[in-house]
């Protein structure tokens, strides 16, 4: 990959440069010392990936991300030493299309250059996500051919999102009233270390409580559950949430497809699934399967997506019944929860 580095600290730049070059499979495309330089450099030479600092003088990583995604869209990974103390800025930048965030590596004993270092693992994952989909691509989870006896009932709303997702989720949850009568389960592509901050941030904006889904929890009406692990969230046969590391080889962790396919197996009430902004194809195939199973399916439209990848994949497969701007999705969900729409099951 051709990787660009945006950082105002010479020591951080040198550390990132060493990690990228010592990996042996990447090269540094260019280096920018501030946001203005990065925006201009992207106009001239769009890299395969940008390693973006959050805190910089003049124009910070949030505004730089917004401008790059508007003018010269490309994958952006937030790399900063202050990620835990600036989680709101991280989520804001992800709202503009940044894919994920990781702490700046500390070069002690060469550990940062290990292929299993957090930074290089993130780069490897994003490299997979940005590749063309190979022929015969399919989800790793097989839906059971025979359905078990109903263990769950009522309506459930499941939302999948990735880059740009935090802001889209905030927009939807701000429009959901406090007396909402369905559980909402969100699978957002974000590293586990940031999930608690995302839940807290969304909770300040939402009219209904936002919680991290824990092993053994059950979907509860009027509560938002957020996948909270780098393992995959599942709805188990007994109607409780479970986490599983399998499938191990999917680049999406947690995976929308894995959770949605578990819903098809074990949730017998009405299902509405929503696929929001994000890079890649996660959720597309399971959305199609759920539509055929009788669920109501919604994809965010291109105009309001920060990254039109996941919804486009679903729309191209004719998996989406509705294609809506993000501001209208909550209205559709209210109709679902109030029984205005049959799931056709």
Q: What is the per-residue pLDDT across 195-250, written as a single tens digit (0 to 9) for each?
A: 888 898 899 999 999 999 999 999 999 999 999 998 999 999 999 999 999 998 88
pLDDT level of residue 192 (50, 70, 90 thresholds) = confident
To the nearest whole number, what is the mean pLDDT of the chain? 86
State residue 45's pLDDT score: 97
CATH number at residue 52: 3.40.50.2300
Q: Is residue 83 part of a domain?
A: yes
Q: How many domains does the chain have?
A: 2
pLDDT value at position 137?
Answer: 41
Domain check: are 184 and 261 in the same one?
A: yes
Q: How crowded is residue 133: how many other Cβ atoms within 10 Å of its Cβ?
A: 10
Total number of residues shown for the chain: 345
Task: Specify the DSSP class assigned to residue 137.
Answer: -
The answer to whether residues 26 and 116 belong to one domain is yes
| CB contact at 8 A, 101 and 77 | yes
Secondary structure (3-state) at 278: strand
Does 215 share its domain with 78? no
Question: Would you state the pLDDT for residue 298?
Answer: 98
Same domain, 105 and 167: no
Do 287 and 201 reside in the same domain of the chain?
yes
Q: State whether 103 and 197 are in the same domain.
A: no
The pLDDT score that the predictor gives to residue 99 is 85
Average pLDDT over residues 15-32: 92
d(CA 332, CA 338): 10
pLDDT at position 345 is 47
Does residue 136 belong to any structural domain of this protein? no
pLDDT band with cut points at 50, 70 and 90 for residue 17 = very high
The residue among 199, 197, 164, 208 whose CA lies nearest residue 300 is: 164
Domain presence at residue 146: no
Of 18-22, 74-78, 186-190, 298-302, where does the model show the most confidence?
Answer: 298-302
Is the pLDDT score of 153 beyond 80?
A: no
Q: Phi, psi (5° rounding) for residue 193?
A: -70, -15
Task: Give the per-residue pLDDT at 132.
Answer: 58
Highest mean pLDDT among 84-98, 100-114, 137-151: 84-98
CA–CA dist 271, 345 (Å, integer): 9
Report cis status (omega within 30 of 0) of the bond before 231.
Answer: no
Whether 159 and 66 map to the same domain: the answer is no
Q: What are the residue numbers of the active site?
A: 162, 189, 282
Tokens of 105: 């590596």
Q: pLDDT band for position 251 (50/70/90)?
A: confident
Residues 192, 290: one domain?
yes
Are residues 284 and 163 part of one domain? yes
pLDDT at 148: 33
Residues 6 or more apart in contact with residue 74 via CB below 8 angstroms? 42, 46, 47, 48, 49, 50, 68
* Same domain (yes/no): 189, 61: no
Instruction: Express each pLDDT in 106-147 by its tens digit.
Output: 655 555 556 557 788 888 877 776 665 444 444 443 333 333
Specify the 3-state DSSP secondary structure of 63.
Answer: helix
Give the domain extent around 180: 155-337
Which residues are within 8 A (CB) of 330 and not within 5 positions of it... i.e. 6 or more apart?
A: 171, 172, 173, 175, 176
pLDDT band at residue 163 using 50, 70 and 90 as cut-offs: confident
Domain containing residue 298: CATH number: 3.40.50.180
Q: In which band, very low, low, confident or very high, does the pLDDT at 343 lie, cut at 50, 70 and 90?
A: very low
Mark whether 214 and 76 lie in a shared domain.
Answer: no
Query: Which one has a higher pLDDT value, 324 or 131?
Result: 324
> Taking the CB of residue 278, how many other CB atoms lie within 10 A of it?
32
Percent over 70 (pLDDT), the chain: 86
344, part of any domain: no
Mean pLDDT (whole number) for 3-20: 93
Give the least confident one: 91-105, 197-211, 227-241, 254-268.
Answer: 91-105
Where would I find the beta strands (DSSP E) of the chain?
2-6, 27-32, 49-52, 76-80, 100-103, 155-161, 184-188, 210-212, 224-226, 232-235, 241-244, 270-275, 296-300, 322-324
- Whether 109 and 169 map to the same domain: the answer is no
């Amino acid at each position: 990959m051709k990787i660009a580095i945006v950082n105002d600290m010479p020591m951080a730049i040198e550390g990132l440069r060493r990690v990228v070059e010592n990996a042996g499979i990447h090269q540094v495309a260019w280096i920018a010392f501030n946001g203005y330089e990065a925006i201009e450099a992207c106009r001239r030479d769009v890299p395969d990936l940008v390693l973006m600092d959050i805190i910089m003088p003049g124009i910070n990583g949030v505004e730089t991300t917004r401008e790059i995604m508007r003018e010269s869209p490309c994958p952006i990974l937030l790399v900063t030493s202050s990620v835990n103390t600036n989680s709101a800025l991280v989520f804001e930048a992800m709202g503009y299309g940044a894919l994920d965030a990781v702490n700046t590596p500390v070069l002690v004993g060469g550990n940062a250059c290990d292929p299993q270092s957090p930074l290089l693992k993130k780069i490897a994952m994003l490299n997979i996500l940005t590749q063309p989909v190979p022929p015969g691509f399919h989800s790793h989870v097989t839906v059971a051919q025979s359905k078990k006896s109903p263990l769950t009932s009522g309506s459930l709303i499941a939302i999948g999102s990735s880059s740009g997702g935090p802001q889209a989720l905030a927009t939807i949850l701000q429009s959901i009233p406090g007396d909402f009568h369905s559980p909402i389960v969100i699978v957002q592509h974000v590293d586990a270390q940031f999930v608690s901050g995302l839940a807290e941030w969304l909770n300040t904006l939402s009219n209904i409580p936002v919680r991290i889904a824990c092993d053994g929890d059950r979907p509860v009406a009027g509560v938002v559950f957020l996948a909270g692990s780098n393992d995959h969230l599942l709805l188990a046969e007994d109607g409780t949430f479970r986490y599983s590391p399998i499938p191990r080889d999917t680049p999406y962790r947690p995976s929308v497809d894995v959770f949605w396919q578990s819903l098809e197996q074990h949730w017998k009430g009405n299902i509405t699934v929503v696929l929001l902004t994000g890079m890649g194809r996660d959720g597309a195939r399971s959305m199609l399967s759920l539509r055929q199973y009788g669920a109501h399916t919604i994809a965010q439209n291109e105009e309001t997506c920060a990254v039109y990848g996941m919804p486009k994949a679903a729309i191209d497969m004719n998996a989406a019944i509705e294609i809506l701007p993000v501001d209208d999705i909550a209205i559709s969900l209210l109709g679902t929860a109030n029984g205005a729409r049959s799931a056709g099951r």
